[in-house]
Structure 1
Amino acid sequence: MLHHPRYTGAFCFGRTHTHKLPNGSHRFQQLPTEEWIALIRDAHVGYITWEEYEQNLRILSDNTQAPAAGRDRGPAREGPALLQGLAVCAKCGDRMTVRYHTHGIRRVPDYVCQRDGISHAEPICQLIVGGELDVAIGKLLVQAVTPFTLEVALAVQKELESRSEDSDRLRLQAVEQARYESDLTRRRYMRCDPDNRLVADSLEAEWNLALRAQTAAQELYDKQRKADRELDDAQRASIVALATDFARLWNDPHTADRERKRMARLLIADVTLLKDTDIRAQVRFNGGATQTLHLPLPKPAWMLRQTPAAVVNEIDRLLQNHTDGEVAVILNEKNYLSGEGKPFHRLIVRKIRIAYSLDSRYARLRARGMLTKSEFAERLNVSVATVKRWRHLGLLLPHKYDDRGEHLYEQPDSDTPVKHQHQGKIPARSIHAKATLSTTTL
């Protein structure tokens, strides 16, 4: 029923041609419809119409997976590649195939022109990463199917309907002309001498050709009459409502990738791709309109993993008063992520600080003139243990510069303790500072 025209009620003969091979076997070749010996439609009652039969053949051809001329699109398959079967190489004109690579947990399509590479071991023409390209094509389709564009299309359709009468009259004249030619050749054949077989055979052949031309003209006329039917108000309202439904269905995350591809094929005939200083995609719609998109080249992997400039500036600002570990905690509280999309910790902040030549917390404090505990002890002529003891008692104002508990100290001033001044006793402000320190630690 799908492949044989007899189920349409047609009589046909000569659908195949047989070749005899030198070894005695035979090879059968399927011929196109116009090369059949005989085809008489509506010879008997059929199960399906001729139009349904032709539509079935077109669907079968589009769904064929084997590569061949004229059927390179193939069926819409699983996978996120929106232009699968639609991408055409601008350099050689061949269809581009699809590969996939993984970016995190997401599959990203790559459109590759590799037919010569497979057949003749030639280098591939071009490879285009399709992640951003598919997004741009999707936005173009959503913009194309809007109430305004559909209203314009309906206005054009109405104008074409107003001119359909003129077209119908011209096609009818073509049918009448073919009928006149057929009658003329019939009269010539009927008037010839039957004994003159050479002339009779020639006139009969002309008559058959005229009959075929008349049949073709009549079929074209009937087909166009069916296609030129007018739209009623309900159909126009349904077409305008399609714009809202299309955008909602396209942007729905639950819509399968295969369905998006089928919707794209209803609108797009093909997309010609060229990779140069940018990616140029020329979209050819089924109605004949074209539109060209210019997209920047995809960034290399190291740029995709690069920390955003805003995060680097925030780290530079926080290092004025915090260590690497404290900076990581603050960034996570603000929901910042690294260039790899990961939460921050001390080592990541340190790696970013070194990569972008940011001064460490230690260098910043030293630039402000602060001293290490050894330098501070030497300045006051005391031991390092005394400096540690004074810090624990709250007599000094240390500044933490790493996550191991190391500190730098401000330059001694009038409030700085003196050697042996507090030996054996703790001043009231020290007790208060120590209590405050203990409370903060708890």
Structure 2
Amino acid sequence: ILCGRCGERMTVRYHSREGRLWPEYVCQRDGIEHARPLCQRVPGAGIDQAIGELLVEAVSPMALEVALSVQQELQHRIDEADRLRQKQVERAQYEADLARRRYMRVDPDNRLVADSLEAEWNSKLRNLSEAQQERERQREQDRKVLSEPHRAAILALATDFPALWRDPKTPDRERKRMIRLLLEDITLLRGEQITLHIRFKGGATKTLTLRLPLNSWQLRQTNPDVVKEIDQLLDQYTYPQIAAILNQRGLRSGAGKAFTSRFIANIQRSYSLTLRYDRLRKAGMLTVEEMAAALGICRQRVTVWNRHGLIKGHAYNNKNDCLYEPPGENPPRKAQGIKLSQRALIKVVSQRIEEVQCEA
């Protein structure tokens, strides 16, 4: 691995995270030798994956081509060996014919020469028979070598590399060995993107461009759609209510956890969402002091009247502190001798009676 800025070799660091080792390529030669800042550092997980896919893509047709070449080479060698054995048979046949002619021309009365030529003829015939048998035996073996199962085994070489590379049982050190056999070097340059200049053995080159991996906080970031939903819910609900609504809908945070009141508050601050208090004030709601002044009562009585339904308050925090709707033209007033619960009940009953009369 070479640095795309200074050309020096980069080193690899491994970080343990979630039970796995994650590589990081670092150019630190100047830092080691001259105490200078790191030239560049590049996260390696995406790089390793991209290199692996490139090798699988590049090696598969190469492996198929090599497999076919091997098959053709085997056939060529077998044919060449058969031609040589055929020449040996022809030579043995020639020597046997020559020995026969010599024997046929000898004087029968010269038994010593005749016996010698006969023995030579028999020897040449044995050599011819052995050469013919050897050729047939080798041809039978060659037919087995080039049988359909063997052809299929040769063609299967094209799929061995992808299967081996993607096998989770293959150790990383074996993958590194395969990379060293196939690649000359890789140059990394980190900018807005990660650029890889890859040089294969033999001179072929390839350039890849990868997106920079997200930081850990970005990986755990809450979905923007959920943030938008929280912004809308703040118009009507408090933090605990919003958390309950989101959990009921099956939504989860960026870390995959259920929502809580504290998490909703963090989202509101992180994304500068308008506070529920400010939303209610913008809608014309009154504080407890303003409501007390408008009704001519104390702050405590405002809370009591809100609890009994004489006025309408809207909670804006986890403590159930409220802002109140303006009392309007006919605000509630003090009524000595009548309990608050009875005042609310009378109001409801009167409404019910009016509705019945209208229907009649």
Q: Per the alignment, in what secondary structure is the counterpart of residue 354 of structure 1?
A: helix
The answer to whether the 8 A contact 2:164-2:170 is kept is: no
Question: Does the C-alpha gap of structure 1 residues 96 and 160 become closer, same or farther in structure 2, counting only changes over 3 Å?
Answer: farther
Structure 2 counterpart of 1:337: 253
Distance 1:315 1:390 in 2: 30
Residue number among 309, 312, 315 corresponding to 2:227 in the alignment: 312
Alpha-carbon deviation of 1:291? 1.9
Aligned AA (2:253): L
Alpha-carbon deviation of 1:406? 1.0
Structure 2 counterpart of 1:417: 332
Q: In the TM superposition, what whole-angstrom CA distance separates every residue of 1:51-96 from its partner, at most 9, and x where no partner exists?
A: xxxxxxxxxxxxxxxxxxxxxxxxxxxxxxxxxxxx2234454432
The answer to whether the 8 A contact 2:185-2:200 is kept is: yes
The answer to whether the 8 A contact 1:272-1:283 is kept is: yes
1:130 aligns with 2:48: no
Which has the higher relative contact order, 1 or 2, with Cα contacts under 8 A spaced 6 or more apart? 2
Residue number among 151, 159, 162 corresponding to 1:233 in the alignment: 151
Distance 2:298 2:5 in 1: 79
Q: Per the alignment, in what secondary structure is the counterpart of residue 339 of structure 2?
A: coil
Structure 1 stretch displaced more, 410-419 or 421-430 = 421-430
Residue number among 302, 310, 321 corresponding to 1:395 in the alignment: 310
Distance 1:97 1:121 in 2: 16
Question: Does the C-alpha gap of structure 1 residues 149 and 398 become closer, same or farther in structure 2, counting only changes over 3 Å?
Answer: farther
Aligned AA (2:2): V
RMSD after superposition: 4.2
Alpha-carbon deviation of 1:418? 3.3
Aligned AA (1:385): Q
Structure 2 counterpart of 1:372: 287
The answer to whether the 8 A contact 1:278-1:294 is kept is: yes
The answer to whether the 8 A contact 2:189-2:195 is kept is: yes
Residue number among 190, 193, 209 corresponding to 1:294 in the alignment: 209
Distance 1:160 1:422 in 2: 112
Distance 2:329 2:241 in 1: 32
Question: Does the C-alpha gap of structure 1 residues 411 and 91 become closer, same or farther in structure 2, counting only changes over 3 Å?
Answer: closer
Structure 2 counterpart of 1:10: none
Distance 1:138 1:363 in 2: 54
Q: In the TM superposition, what whole-angstrom CA distance separates every residue of 1:315-355 from its partner, at most 9, and x where no partner exists?
A: 212212222233334445534224x7765433333233223
The answer to whether the 8 A contact 1:393-1:430 is kept is: no
The answer to whether the 8 A contact 1:395-1:430 is kept is: no
Alpha-carbon deviation of 1:276? 3.9
Distance 1:103 1:431 in 2: 66
The answer to whether the 8 A contact 1:282-1:293 is kept is: yes
Q: In the TM superposition, what whole-angstrom CA distance separates every residue of 1:385-411 from its partner, at most 9, and x where no partner exists?
A: 333222222333322110011122222
Structure 2 counterpart of 1:242: 160
Alignment of 1:69-80 (within 5 A): none
Between Structure 1 and Structure 2, the one with more helix by share is 2
Question: Does the C-alpha gap of structure 1 residues 288 and 422 become closer, same or farther in structure 2, counting only changes over 3 Å?
Answer: farther
Distance 2:176 2:233 in 1: 48
Give unpaired runs (5+ residues) of structure 2: 81-144, 349-360
Structure 1 counterpart of 2:197: 282
Q: Per the alignment, in what secondary structure is the counterpart of residue 295 of structure 1?
A: strand
Q: In the TM superposition, what whole-angstrom CA distance separates every residue of 1:81-130 from its partner, at most 9, and x where no partner exists?
A: xxxxxx22344544321123456765432212334544565665432222
Q: In the TM superposition, what whole-angstrom CA distance separates every residue of 1:348-387 from its partner, at most 9, and x where no partner exists?
A: 3323322322111111111111122332232222333333
Q: How many residues align structurally?
A: 279
Q: Normalising by the residue count of structure 1, what TM-score does the alignment of the two structures yield?
A: 0.51
Structure 1 stretch displaced more, 233-242 or 296-305 = 296-305
Aligned AA (1:245): A
Q: Per the alignment, in what secondary structure is the counterpart of residue 426 of structure 1?
A: helix
Distance 1:426 1:410 in 2: 20
Question: Does the C-alpha gap of structure 1 residues 275 and 424 become closer, same or farther in structure 2, counting only changes over 3 Å?
Answer: closer
Alpha-carbon deviation of 1:283? 2.4
Distance 2:257 2:146 in 1: 59
Give unpaired runs (5+ residues) of structure 1: 1-86, 169-228, 434-442
Aligned AA (1:315): I
Distance 2:340 2:256 in 1: 54
Question: Does the C-alpha gap of structure 1 residues 428 and 384 become closer, same or farther in structure 2, counting only changes over 3 Å?
Answer: closer
Distance 1:153 1:372 in 2: 84
User: Between Structure 1 and Structure 2, whose CA radius of gyration is higher?
Assistant: 2
Distance 1:269 1:109 in 2: 20
